[in-house]
Amino acid sequence: MRIAGQTVDPVHKPGIPPQELPALKFPEKIRSPEIPYCLGWLNYWSAATAQTLGFPEASRDAELLTRARRTLSGGWIVQLTAAPLDLDDPAHLDALLLAYARFPEIGGRSAP
């Protein structure tokens, strides 16, 4: 996962996020433990995280729901693409960008 290049901290002065991915806060800078610090190919979201993110919302998450599974504890395992993420694959990059757009809270980019 390429999170290191995606994080934003004026003290550490990281580089520009790769391939138009959004800039993310460092995990310790995110105010709530329910907010994931990044997206990956496979994502586990507890019931509290799913509620914080507003997932699932049938009208907005139909595509994600085709690759998501609910856990016995009420959480979700959400798979962004059929195959492991490859940021050199335009379809995978689009899927990742769409997921970041759908969930602006991830990475501490906006308040829930």
Domain boundaries, given as residue ranges, for the chain: 32-108
Q: Using the predicted structure, report yes or no on whether residue 55 has a pLDDT greater than 90.
A: yes
Average pLDDT over residues 73-101: 96
Q: Residue 4: pLDDT above 50?
A: no
- Burial pattern 53-74, b for ≥16 Cβ within 10 A else e, equals bebbeeeebeebbeebeeeeee
Q: Please name which of 111, 112, 109 lies closest in space to residue 26, comparing C-alpha atoms.
A: 109
What is the biggest distance separating any 2 CA atoms in the chain, rounded to whole angstroms? 41
Q: What pLDDT, on the 0 to 100 scale, is given for residue 3?
A: 45
CB 80, CB 99: distance < 8 Å: yes
**Pairwise pLDDT comparison (11 vs 97), residue with the higher score:** 97
**pTM: predicted TM-score of the whole model, two decimal places:** 0.84
Crossing angle of helices 90-102 and 58-65, rounded to 10°: 150
Which three-class secondary structure state does DSSP give residue 68? strand
The answer to whether the beta carbons of residues 21 and 60 sit under 8 Å apart is no
Q: Give CA separation, 86 vs 12, 45, 55, 102, 108, in Å.
A: 27, 22, 24, 20, 24
Query: Per-residue confidence at 31, pLDDT binned at 50, 70, 90?
Result: confident
